A and B are shown apart, each in its own frame.
Chain A
Amino acid sequence: MKRFFAIIESPATRTFLLGLVVLSFQTTLFNTLRPFGVVLQLMLLFSCASGVAAGSEAGAVTGFIFGLMYDMVLTAPMGLSAVVFGFAGYMAGGVNAFVHEARWWVKIIAVALSTATAVLLYPAASLVVGVDGLLGSRIVTVAITCAAFNAVLAVPAARIAKWALVKPVRQAIWAE
């Protein structure tokens, strides 16, 4: 039983379950809400928020997992979103290298910048693997809209990501 709870409460399981829930919101609610015709990137938000909450490496891993899950429901080449979201998570986590305890507005800026970079990077990465035609003037609108939305939700998303990624106290007790 202890082992079962340990597995359930482990950061990996929590992250995976969080990813499933966020992905389901991405494919349902956030697929309908399209301000300026742009699909808001909730999966990217949590990738960046993980970096802000738990550092570059954790951000990269979470971003990679979230990106991989996102790739599963897209028709784009598998692994493309994974590498882009992983990079975004790593970049957002870079904020912890500069400041010890990032202020809320620093988190917002980090998430917004990482989101915009990832949105711009995705068509470029697609071009590398032979998917042409995604680079256009519309990409700027998409980047700005996604960055603005993710900036608004950066702080609560970082809290949720922290809950998922930080090892719970009870597990430490059982481990003894």
Chain B
Amino acid sequence: MIVVLLLTSILLVTLDLRDSGFVAGVRDTFGTLFRPVERLTNVVTKPVSNAWRGVLDYGELRKENLALKDLLVKQEGTAIAAAASVREAQELLALNGLPTLAGIDSVTAQIVGQSPSNFSQTFELNRGKSSGIRVGMTVTNGAGLVGKITDATLERSVVMLATDPEYAIAVKVGNCPTPVTSPAPETTTTTVAETTTTAAVVPPTGIDGATTTTLPGDTTTTSSTVPPTTTSTTSTTTTTSTTTTTLPKPTTTTIKGFTPFSTTLPPRPGGAGSQITIPDTGGLVPRETGALEGRGIGRTPIIRFVQASERLGALCEGVPVVTAGGSQSLAPPDLVVGTVARVVNRKGTAGPLLEVDLAANLESLNFVRVLLYQPATEIPR
């Protein structure tokens, strides 16, 4: 009996790994049978779950709520600027006939379930094939990449998170900008001529009640009643003071992975125009492609197969990571993934490993967006 069970397990694992339709059919049928039982149990156990959450998570939720409010205020201004930039970028891409995310349809779905396993990281969505969702489609939220669809029934679908050990996707990583030594701030000396009148007035001596009035530039008026021992002097002095003014350099916001090499057009002759900066495409920092792979719960995903070369520039922390796209990639290009959190250099030809901080917070997902994007190779003919 034990041997039969073991052989059956091996057979099932083999069939499943080879994407057998039989196994998928059995799973679908079981899902249909199990769903009502699960719903019923969910109704019964909901109060207990809520009580558990209320007891354990209340304090944390309050703190998180306050932190999020602060963050929201900070983000509002940035979001407006970002929206303007995105619009501009889309217009440029459209002008050049390049693909953009704006042209891809999407479906918003809510997370209604989570994997009951300690090992796999999957969520269940309340939308499925009837909404156009297919296996392999990319899932994002407002911040960035979340994962991909690994299973889809008529009304439900399963998302594998980007941190799952089985998840992998091609990404692009920006290299560090070349460090530029900024010159010392300019010091301009402006000389301003000032005329200062200093009057030395000798108070009345009290003798004979003589008074002296001093006016700038005026000649001295000396009272005749002043005794020779007492002198009332009035002097006019012209001095030149030197004021040093330091003009600050124009400030530039630097985004890692992008160095604003630029051409500066001078102001129009005779006109008081501002300087216009035009980005130089030849000076843009090159980007490398690699493979992003999940590493499981509590561990950041890593990027393999990147090469650190002198010619392309160094790999450093903080640079943005976006999807690479391509004819066979399941994700469209330039979808935000996150930033490089750490660069782990390895000996030999293995190349460095990059740990990535995902832009999307996968621990507090509620609504997500499924991009109805399929590469040409995946669309059935």
Interface residues of A (CB under 8 A from B): 20-21, 23-33, 37-39, 41, 57, 60-61, 64, 68-80, 82-83, 86, 90, 119, 122-123, 126, 129-134, 136, 138, 142, 146
Contact = CB atoms under 8 A, between A and B. Distances in A.
A82 B114 contact: no
Contacts of B219: none
B17 A129 contact: yes
Contacts of B297: 37, 138
B13 A129 contact: yes
Interface stretch (B25-33, B59-67, B170-178, B198-206): B25-33
Contacts of B158: 75
Q: Which 3 A-B pairs have the closest CB atoms?
A: A133-B165, A79-B12, A24-B41
B165 A75 contact: no
Q: Which of B42, B160, B293, B299 has the most CB of A within 10 A?
A: B42
B41 A29 contact: yes
Contacts of A33: 49, 52
> Helix, strand, loop or mixed for chain A's interface?
helix
Contact of A72 (B27, B42, B295): B27
A29 B49 contact: yes
B49 A73 contact: no
Contacts of A69: 30
Given A21-B37, A29-B49, A68-B12, 9 more contacts: A24-B34, A31-B114, A37-B297, A61-B5, A74-B120, A78-B23, A83-B9, A83-B13, A134-B296
Contacts of A41: 118
**Which residue, of B42, B116, B166, has the highest number of chain A Cβ atoms within 10 A?**
B116
Contact of A75 (B53, B115, B294): B115
Contact of A28 (B38, B52, B299): B38
Given A37-B297, A86-B9, A126-B119, A23 B34 contact: yes
A87 B53 CA distance: 34
B116 A39 contact: yes
A72 B200 CA distance: 103
Interface in B280-296: 293-296
Interface of B: 1-2, 5-6, 8-13, 15-17, 23, 26-27, 30-31, 34, 37-38, 40-42, 45, 48-49, 52-53, 113-120, 122, 150-151, 158, 160, 165-166, 293-299
B225 to A, nearest CB: 102
B176 to A, nearest CB: 28
A32 B9 contact: no
A133 B296 contact: yes
Contacts of B295: 133
A124 to B, nearest CB: 12
A126 to B, nearest CB: 7
A26 B116 contact: yes
Given A32-B49, A32-B53, A57 B34 contact: no
Contacts of B53: 32
A138 B298 contact: yes
A39 B166 CA distance: 20
Contact of A142 (B31, B40, B118, B165): B118
Nearest to B52: A33
A62 to B, nearest CB: 11
Contacts of B15: 78
A24 B44 CA distance: 11
Contacts of B116: 26-27, 30-31, 39, 70, 73-74
B3 to A, nearest CB: 11
A111 to B, nearest CB: 18
Contact of A79 (B9, B52, B151, B160): B9
Given A57-B2, A72-B26, A119-B118, A27 B113 contact: yes
A120 to B, nearest CB: 11
B118 A38 contact: yes
Contacts of A24: 34, 37-38, 40-42
Nearest to B20: A78
18 contacts: A28-B41, A28-B49, A29-B49, A31-B114, A32-B52, A37-B298, A72-B31, A73-B34, A74-B115, A78-B23, A79-B10, A82-B8, A83-B13, A86-B2, A129-B17, A133-B165, A134-B165, A136-B296
A68 B34 CA distance: 13
B109 to A, nearest CB: 17
Nearest to A143: B118
B298 to A, nearest CB: 6
B1 A57 contact: yes
A25 B49 CA distance: 11
Contact of B16 (A27, A61, A77, A134): A77
Nearest to A81: B117
